[in-house]
Amino acid sequence: MDLGTLIKGKRVLVTGASSGLGAHFARLMARNGAAVVIAARRKDKLEALAEELGALGASQVTEGALDGADEASVKQAFEEIATTGADLDVVVNNAGISGDGLALNLPTSDFDAVGGTNLRGVWLVATEAARRWKAAQRAGAIVNIASIQAERVAPGLAAYSASKAAVVQLTKSLALEWARFNIRVNALEPGYIRTELTAELWDQPYGVEMIKRIPMRRLGEPSELDGPLLLLSSSASSWMTGSVIAVDGGHLVSAL
């Protein structure tokens, strides 16, 4: 089965789409003929990507500002989306920040910012989408982007790990509540992925040592998330909800 054919013509919202995995996910949906809605805090960062998505084959491209931690911003974004085309079919809840820093040195404001984007943002976007789907008696699929840090930890990422663990439990809770409405909620847990934002890290001694702890002894590429994301976004996973898929080169099963 070609999972991409199941996305063609679907309207997909990707949050945090201005860079990194968010931009990659938007390109993936565009290449498979979806109508792509890209959102990020700063709309100006999306303009070049929007042009690229059109050239890649997106059936429609819509761009808009969305601050996931701000309830008013989320509601306004969904109102604007509703006026620019068909209803959404899929939400990829990707927006997130890392908030690096050892716990004793991390300002409370940074901890709050990580939770605001990574957890509150996922909550606000998911509930707004589901509220509209339920009212319209429409099915929908939500894919929350978590992390293997939800299962295991590393120094300097306490706030991030806590937020991603909460995203996993939120995914399962929402899946339980919304299954009767045919609204599916699943999550991806990427491992260490090479992106333009992290490329320099992996060439440093610390990064090289981190790669050695991955059982497959290499980083993942963004494209290796494509199959799992298309699966969870499409009808190929029509009987999956509350599932969490790790894509990590075996990192979660590495020996302690």
CA-based radius of gyration for the chain: 18
Whether the Cβ atoms of residue 225 and residue 21 lie closer than 8 Å to each other: yes
Whether the Cβ atoms of residue 139 and residue 91 lie closer than 8 Å to each other: no
* Residue of 18, 40, 230 whose CA lies nearest to 141: 230
Q: Which residues contact 120 (CB under 8 A, 6 or more apart)?
A: 68, 69
DSSP string computed for 108-135: HHHHHHHHIIIIIHHHHHHHHHHHHHHH
Active-site pick, 111, 160, 178, 192: 160
Tokens of 208: 């090289």
Crossing angle for the helix pair 121-136 and 71-82, to the nearest 10 degrees: 40
The two beta strands, 140-145 and 183-190, are parallel
Tokens of 24: 């990659």
160 is an active site residue: yes
> In which order are the strands placed within the sheet that holds 140-145?
60-65, 35-40, 11-15, 90-93, 140-145, 183-190, 244-247
Instruction: Tell me the catalytic residues.
Output: 160
